[in-house]
Amino acid sequence: MLIHSGVKQQLNDNGDKSDWNSTSFKTADHWMTANEIDANSIDVDEAKARLRDWVQPRCKPEAKLYLQKLKSL
């Protein structure tokens, strides 16, 4: 499994920020290790419930709606 881990700002030959950004992908195992996240074996419904509970106090309503549509949370 691959994780989209973010966007990296590119620098030009002079060390200044360029207009070009690159997308960063990592394997799930590598990303989880780098972020000190342990793997677990919960089922999909439990994972969705945990994600909903985590998102609820942290995201704007628009973001929650987007996530609901994206992953059927």
- Taking alpha carbons only, the member of 70, 38, 67, 39 closest to residue 55 is 67
Mean pLDDT (the chain, rounded)? 81
Give the rounded percent of residues in the chain with a pLDDT score beyond 70.
81
Q: Is the model's pLDDT at 71 over the cut of 70?
A: no
Amino acid at 16: D
pLDDT at residue 57, as a whole number: 92
The pTM score is: 0.48
Strand partners, 2: 27
pLDDT at residue 2, as a whole number: 67
Strand 17-27 and strand 2-11: pairing?
A: antiparallel
Q: Quote the CA–CA distance of 16 and 27 in Å, as a whole number.
A: 29
Give the rounded percent of residues in the chain with a pLDDT score beyond 90.
8
Name, in order, each residue with C-beta under 8 angstroms of 6's C-beta and a sequence gap of 6 or more.
Answer: 23, 24
